[in-house]
Amino acid sequence: MVYDIFSDSGVLDFFKIEERKIMAFIAAVCSHYHRNPYHNFCHVVYVLHTTYMMLMRSQVSKSLNRVDQLVLLIAALCHDVDHDGKTMSVTGLLVIRVQAT
């Protein structure tokens, strides 16, 4: 499914990214996800799919160039890499900053 999203989005053809290279990248990213109850690779596939659907079904894609689209998909795929599943560090930082102001 992850490969299909990258392929269907057109970024692989546009950047001439070979299938074996994107598959190796996806496998490498997957290997850095832990078996957490939530922040695991299944969650990331869901986020990637949602991102892809928003990209393809909305007007967003018209305002993003191909680099932006590739970065968006990679960010969705990698956003929880090595997450320990115990904390929401980004959310925690936001809460701390809001409370400090």
- Minimal distance in Å, beta carbon 91 to Zn ion? 11
Taking CA atoms, 44 is separated from 55, 81, 98, 101, in Å, by: 16, 9, 27, 32
Q: Is 5 near Zn ion (CB under 5 A)? A: no
Asked whether 81 and 29 are in contact (CB, 8 A), the reply is: yes
Q: Is 80 near Zn ion (CB under 5 A)? A: yes
| Closer by beta carbon to Zn ion, 23 or else 88 | 88
Q: What is the pattern of x (binds Zn ion, CB under 5 A) and - over residues 22-61?
A: ----------------------------------------
Q: Is 76 near Zn ion (CB under 5 A)? A: no
Q: How far apart are CA 22 and CA 14, in angstroms?
A: 13
DSSP 65: -
Q: Site residues (CB under 5 A) for Zn ion?
A: 80
Active site residues: 39
